[in-house]
Amino acid sequence: MKFPLYFSRKIAFSKDNKNNLSRVIIFIGRLSVALGIIVSLITVSTGFGSKKAIKERLADFSGHITVKSTRSNSSYNTSVLDNQGLSVKKIREIPDVETVQKYAMVTGIMRNEHNFAGIIFKGVGKDFDSLRFQKFLIAGTTPKIAEKGYNNGVTISQKIANDLHLKVKDSIVTVFSKTDQQPIYRKFEVVGIYKTDIKMIDDQFVIGDINHVRKIQDMKPDEIGGIDIFLKDVNDIDSDFPEIEKLIGYKNYAEKATEKFPQITDWISIFDTNIALIIIIMLIVVVINIIMVLLILIIERTNSIGLLKTLGASNSQIRATFINYTLIIMIPGLLYGNAIGLGLILIQKFFGVIKLNPENYYVSTVPVDLNPIVIISISVGILFISGLALIVPSYLISKISPVKAIKYN
C-alpha cells in the first residue's frame, strides 16, 4: 500500500488524534456532503420523474407518435388518412413499436339541463389499447367497440362529468355540426370516467366508437382519420420518428406526442435548467466546505507535516495524504446522504406524500424516477470533483518549513 493512502487511513480512523475543533470541522464537512447528496438526489429524481411522467401521460393517451392527413392541418376534425405510401404493417414490424390503433375525431357539444361542454369526440376501433388506457380510469370502463354497428357508450373525463353532473350509466346528448347542414344529434351512455391530470386533454376529449365519427364525417366503413403508434419506451420517440416518417406516405404527416402541446413541452424543458442549476449550487457548497476542512486540518497538523518532511516525505506525498484524508472523511457523509435521500424518494414513490395541483403541474403527486446509474454518478461525481478541487489548496503544505512546523504550537 502506498504511503499517502496508508498514512491517511491511519489518521482518519485513529480515535485519539481528534480534538474538539477537528470533530466540529469534520462534522460540518460530512453534513455539507450529506445535504448535497440529499438535495441532488431529490432534485434529479423528481425532475426526471416529472418529465417522464408528463411525457408518458401525453403519449399513453394519444400515442407516442400520431399519423394524420396533411389536409387535417391543426383541425380537430380529422380528414381521411391517405393510404398511398402508408404501410401500417411495416410500422408494426419496427422493433420498438408495441401497438398501433386507428382513430377518427370530430368536434361537438355535450349538453344537458345543467350545463354544456365543447368536446373532441375521439372515435376508436376494435384495436383500441384499453389496457394502456386503464391507468387513467377512475370509474367504469372504456367502450367495447365492434367492427360493425354502433356502440353508444362513451368514456368522458372527470372534468366534463363534474361540469355536466354526470356519472357512469347516465345518458348525455351530443350535438355535431356540419357545414351547410342541419346539426346531428347523438345520445350516448357514459360507461367510464377518466382523468389524466393534463388540462388540455381532460377539458375536451371523449372516447367513443369510430363508426359514429365515420357516419358524421361521411367516411367509408374502412376509412380512418389517423393512427396512434405506441412505442415500448417513451424515450425512443426521437430515434424512431424518422423511420416511421418513411412509412406514412407523402400525403400524411407524423407528429410526436411531445409536439402536440408545445406549452407543456416548453414547461418540461425548464426542468433541465433547474436540475443543472441546483446541482451546480450544491457542488459549490460542498466544495467550499471540503476545502475549508482541508485547510483547517493542514493548520491543525502543522507539527505532523514538519515531522513528515524531516523524515523525508516529499511535498507531493504529504499533499496526497491530506487529500486522501479529506476524501475519507467525506465517505460517511456520502453514505448517510444516500440513505436519507433514497429513503425520502422511496416514501414519495410508494405513498405519494407530497401532492401537487394538476392544473399547474400536470400531475397530482410528485413523481420520482429511480435510476441507479444517476444515483451512483451523483456520489462519484461529488467525490471526484471534490478531489480535484482539493489539489490547489493542498499546495499550502509546500510552504510549510519543517523547522518552523516542528516548533509550531
- Mark whether 77 and 185 lie in a shared domain: yes
Which of 260, 292, 310 is where one domain is finished? 260
The answer, yes or no, to whether residue 398 has pLDDT greater than 80, is: no
Distance CA 206, CA 110 (A): 10
- Full residue range of the structural domain in which residue 119 is found: 62-260
Per-residue pLDDT, averaged over 336-344, amounts to 96
- Mark whether 291 and 396 lie in a shared domain: yes
Q: 97-139, pLDDT tens digit by residue?
A: 999 999 999 999 999 887 899 999 999 999 999 999 999 999 9
Give 102's contacts (C-beta < 8 A, 6+ positions apart).
124, 125, 127, 210, 224, 226, 227, 228
- Mark whether 100 and 249 lie in a shared domain: yes
Give the model's confidence band at 20: pLDDT under 50 very low, under 70 low, under 90 confident, else very high. Answer: low
Give the model's confidence band at 351: pLDDT under 50 very low, under 70 low, under 90 confident, else very high. Answer: very high
The answer, yes or no, to whether residue 251 has pLDDT greater than 70, is: yes
The answer, yes or no, to whether residue 13 has pLDDT greater than 70, is: no
Provide the pLDDT for residue 406: 61
The answer, yes or no, to whether residue 384 has pLDDT greater than 60, is: yes
Distance CA 151, CA 187 (A): 11
Per-residue pLDDT, averaged over 179-183, amounts to 77
Is residue 245 within 8 A of residue 254, CB to CB? The reply is yes
Provide the pLDDT for residue 288: 92
Residue listed under C-alpha cell 423528481: 46
Q: Among 29-33, 215-219, 319-323, 389-393, name the one with the lowest average pLDDT.
A: 319-323
Task: List, in sequence order, every beta strand (DSSP E) within 211-251.
Answer: 226-231
Which of 260, 282, 305 is where one domain is finished? 260
Q: 38-56, pLDDT tens digit by residue?
A: 999 999 999 999 988 888 8
- Mark whether 99 and 227 lie in a shared domain: yes
- Mark whether 320 and 374 lie in a shared domain: yes
The answer, yes or no, to whether residue 164 has pLDDT greater than 90, is: yes
Q: Does the CA dihedral 25-29-31-32 come out positive or negative?
A: positive
Provide the pLDDT for residue 333: 93
- Closest Cα to residue 189, out of 227, 226, 161, 217? 161
Average pLDDT of the chain to the nearest whole number = 88
- Mark whether 47 and 104 lie in a shared domain: no
* 67 membership: H or E segment, kind and range: strand 65-69
Which of 229, 260, 291 is where one domain is finished? 260
Distance CA 346, CA 159 (A): 31
Per-residue pLDDT, averaged over 216-225, amounts to 91
The answer, yes or no, to whether residue 299 has pLDDT greater than 70, is: yes
Give the model's confidence band at 93: pLDDT under 50 very low, under 70 low, under 90 confident, else very high. Answer: very high
Distance CA 205, CA 136 (A): 13
The answer, yes or no, to whether residue 7 has pLDDT greater than 80, is: no
Provide the pLDDT for residue 207: 97
- Mark whether 125 and 274 lie in a shared domain: no
- The whole model's pTM is what? 0.81
- Mark whether 148 and 171 lie in a shared domain: yes
Distance CA 408, CA 210 (A): 88
Provide the pLDDT for residue 1: 47
Specify the number of domains making up the chain.
2
- Mark whether 251 and 129 lie in a shared domain: yes
- Mark whether 126 and 171 lie in a shared domain: yes
- Mark whether 288 and 361 lie in a shared domain: yes
pLDDT over 90, % of the chain: 56
Provide the pLDDT for residue 379: 92
Distance CA 367, CA 345 (A): 9
Task: List, in sequence order, every beta strand (DSSP E) within 182-270.
Answer: 184-194, 205-209, 226-231, 252-256
- Mark whether 288 and 370 lie in a shared domain: yes
